[in-house]
Chain A
């Protein structure tokens, strides 16, 4: 049975007005601007762009403002907006080797060509609250500059590749179509390109927990952070009318390359294996988690047993998207009056039967009908 009930229009309209007032906060305080959010809450903006799957700092800042800083709600807003825009095509693949590097570290080699460049990082801060930020007005001193090493800054894993110690990563089929989880339904088993797109859009918290589970032994794959690099890359796009790629702008990205334990066979000597993470903005925790989970999800391909949650592609890909997850969890707030009525009738019946001394029957499995 499906019963349509109308009502609540006035309540909803008033709720939205109350929401707007709550969002604005104390009117005696200056209103926060999206330019301030984009500039001063830049890591929040980076996360929203990455999981919202749309590189646009201003729109991400607007989404954060509109969502009162609820980043998952902001991701949802950005995802909804992107469905309103036409897609002109796909970019040339970004070349992270040509990045203007602002940070680059390797946990596998101390001395790497180009050096260990810390860049802007919280890693070495003491994590003590800085009460000087309670006051406003003082601009920080200019960060120091130093002469730039003119030498190259190759990918650290390329050094291992040169010796044949790590599985090579080449584009063996440059003309192959690129799967797109936003256009094609995901079918299992998936390929790595599908998984990387889903992981890039995936919830940082979920991937962090899964990556952590891998480290704790659920699908252990012995990871080392071979390289993490942050910086700006040019985005090139080939308009059909022109037939040659043109630079349309630049984007900040973070890349993480994990080195993991070996794969070998009777025919091939053992080699290190790889996990890869890439995200918009400065998203280090995200790309590290992504690389751990990417490697874990390659279990089948690498002949490992699939035993742990992080290795189970259906489990990971079906639960990584926080817009889908949030929608399904929060739909429980919608009226389920009729569903629940049927449960009430059932439990009253069962209790009456029990009071009358009848044998207790197993309750039937709940079947989702009606309002769901």
Chain B
């Protein structure tokens, strides 16, 4: 079982948590504009209230000595968080690097909507999968350009 090194608590091997972590990652890493488009594309935008209005703060980013050793504080990162409650009572959380309040709010809204199993398949299809594909595409481009700079060593044999 994976333990959270921050809280020391086990990260549940609960598939529901795994799935939620997956969509929250996609919502945080995608462009705000794509979430804005998806939001305005909803058949009926749900009513919601802020449980925590979008708030800008920081998270201290930690590294490990030698990459695998003890933790140390590297430096902070700006983060915006938001918690929403939909009319049906479900809560959605948005934690997004940077200072884009609307992005955090939209991430929280989609987090709440995705918890509803009836609307989840469509939202996964329309919002999460394209976001993941875009992130993966950008990473693939970076990896492929890096791969082109990989050194191909060759040895020159002199004499017999």
Residues of A within 8 A of B (CB): 49-50, 53-56, 58-59, 82, 85-94, 96-97, 100-103, 110-111, 115-120, 143-149, 155, 157-158, 169-176, 178-182, 192-194, 196-197, 200-201, 231-232, 234-235, 237-239, 241-251, 253, 255, 257, 274, 276, 278-280
Distance between A100 CB and nearest chain B CB, rounded to angstroms: 5
Known: A248-B28, A248-B95, A276-B66. A193 touches B73 (CB 8 A): yes
Given A96-B67, A239-B81, A250-B29, A197-B72 contact (CB < 8 Å):
yes
- With beta carbons under 8 angstroms apart, the residue of A56, A146, A170, A274 that contacts B147 is A146
A238 pairs with B6, CB closer than 8 A: yes
Given the interface contacts A145-B141, A251-B77, does A174 sit within 8 Å of B98 by beta carbon? no
Task: Name B77's contact: one of A55, A119, A239 (CB within 8 Å).
Answer: A55
Contacts of B145 in A (CB 8 A): 102, 143-145
Residues of B within 8 A of A116 (CB): 150-151
B79 part of interface (Cβ distance < 8 Å)? yes
Interface size class of B (residues with CB under 8 A): 35 or more
A175 and B8 within 8 A (CB)? yes
Bound-state CA distance A77–B18 (Å) is 40
- B88-115 residues with Cβ-Cβ distance < 8 A to A are 93, 95-99
Complex-state Cα separation, A46 to B52, whole angstroms = 32
Residue of A nearest to B99 (CB): A56
Binds A, one of B37-45, B55-63, B121-129: B55-63
Interchain CA distance A147-B4 in the complex, whole Å:
35
**CA separation between A39 and B76, bound complex, in Å?**
21
On whether A276 and B147 interact (CB within 8 A), knowing A56-B99, A244-B11, the answer reads no
Whether the Cβ atoms of A88 and B57 lie closer than 8 Å is: yes
Q: Tell me, yes or no, whether B1 is within 8 Å of chain A by CB.
A: no
Least CB separation from B67: chain A residue: A96
Main DSSP-derived SS at the A contact region: mixed
Report B1-45 CB contacts with A as 1/0, cut-off 8 Å: 001111111011000010001001100110000000000000000
User: Is there contact, CB below 8 Å, between A85 and B78?
Assistant: yes
Given contacts A91-B60, A171-B69, 13 further A-B contacts (CB under 8 A): A54-B75, A55-B77, A87-B76, A89-B6, A91-B59, A101-B143, A146-B144, A147-B147, A181-B73, A239-B95, A246-B25, A248-B97, A253-B63
CA distance A242 to B140 in the complex (A): 31
Distance in angstroms between the alpha carbons of A172 and B149 in the assembled complex:
37
B119 proximal to A (CB < 8 A): no
* B7 CB, min distance to chain A CBs, angstroms: 5
Distance between Cα atoms of A53 and B63 in the complex (Å)? 13
| Min CB gap B119→A, angstroms | 21
Whether the Cβ atoms of B65 and A193 lie closer than 8 Å is yes
State in angstroms the CA–CA spacing of A89 and B95 once bound together. 12
- Most chain A CB within 10 A, of B5, B83, B151, is at B5
Name the A residues within 8 Å of B73 (CB-CB): 90, 178-182, 193, 197
User: Which residue on chain A has the smallest CB distance to residue B96?
Assistant: A248
Nearest A-chain residue to B81, judged by Cβ: A88
B137 at the interface (CB under 8 A from A): no
Complex-state Cα separation, A245 to B6, whole angstroms: 9
